[in-house]
Amino acid sequence: TPSRSSLACNMKLTLLIAFAMLAASSALSLRRRLLSGAKSYGPVCMSDSPVVAELLASAGYGHLVIDHEHGPTDSSSGQALLQAVDAAARLQGPSGDHPTEPIVRVPDHDAAYMKKVLDSMRLPGGVLVPMVEDAATAERAVAATRYPRQVDEPAESVDGVRGCAFPFVRASGYGTDPDYMARCREELLVMVQVESARGVESIPEIASVPGVDAVFLGPFDLSCSIGKAGRFDDREVRDLISAAERAVLESGDCMLAGFRSGGRGAMEMFDDGYSLVCGSVDLGLLRDAARRDLEEALGGVDP
């Protein structure tokens, strides 16, 4: 029989988890803020380092993309990064009442991998699905983020294929959040990434898929898809990016998001209609800081 002290300890732990989740949801989620017209800027974490993730999340960015596509991060190490971002919420930065929210870029639209990511993510947060080139892929991506429609949900709500283990996973506070399923519909930001000329042609159909909150543009990938990687001064590259932006904005169905491309600042992109912008990469920040340190310390002298 459990002792009185162990029962009290378990009760205290449950209350602490519930309080932390209540505090996290007391402010509007990133998804709700963006839908209300707010803007968000943040970096990408490719280092797979919880220390770096916590540091960046405590700096006051609106969001932090945790990259499972190009970096070494997987569903196991990714949970440690999510825990680090949550820990940083205790250190309020310039973002005020809105702690930095994690957005996980998954490797693809695979439902099994998405399930692992979402089961480890405490809301609010988001997911970014790469290489979406048509509406069918976007539909599969959205379905992977949703549970099957429940009998008490509206008939027009998005149906899904996500496996249900929420009473036992980190995402629901290990079963302490009775409203978790409802929060998934309201506080999970779902973005799909268009990275090719073919995908740009399909943006009107992709943007109309129920459950897609934003179309995210990868300008480097777009330029690479037409054989002109990184040539952002090239007329064809500029026209392709502009066509993609215009297609998203004219759809009226979802928000425009994306990476910064060469020569464009975040404020300029916000003025051009972007709701969410990603700029720096943690590895690039470290590389550039190391080079500056060496330059400043040695004054150009060969080490």
Handedness of CA 165, 171, 177, 181 (dihedral sign): negative
- Please tell me which residue in 63, 68, 70, 98 is annotated as part of the active site: 70
Q: Is 63 a catalytic residue?
A: no
Across the chain, which distance is largest between two alpha carbons, in Å?
74
Those residues whose C-beta lies under 8 Å from the C-beta of residue 116, and which sit 6 or more positions away, are: 75
For residues 222 and 241, is the Cβ–Cβ distance under 8 A? Answer: yes
Residue with tokens 């992977």: 144
Measured from the Cβ of residue 16, the count of other Cβ atoms closer than 10 Å reads 12
The span from the CA of 291 to the CA of 212, in Å, is 40
Backbone dihedral angles phi then psi of residue 139, each to the nearest 5 degrees: -65, -40
The span from the CA of 16 to the CA of 7, in Å, is 14
Whether the bond into 107 is cis, omega within 30 of 0: no
- 148-156 LR contacts (CB < 8 Å, sep 24+): 150/181
Strands 274-281 and 255-259: parallel
Strands 125-129 and 188-194: parallel
The span from the CA of 132 to the CA of 183, in Å, is 25
The span from the CA of 157 to the CA of 148, in Å, is 10
Query: 125 has which bridge partners?
Result: 188
CA angle 288, 293, 297 (to 5 degrees): 155
Annotated catalytic sites, by residue? 70
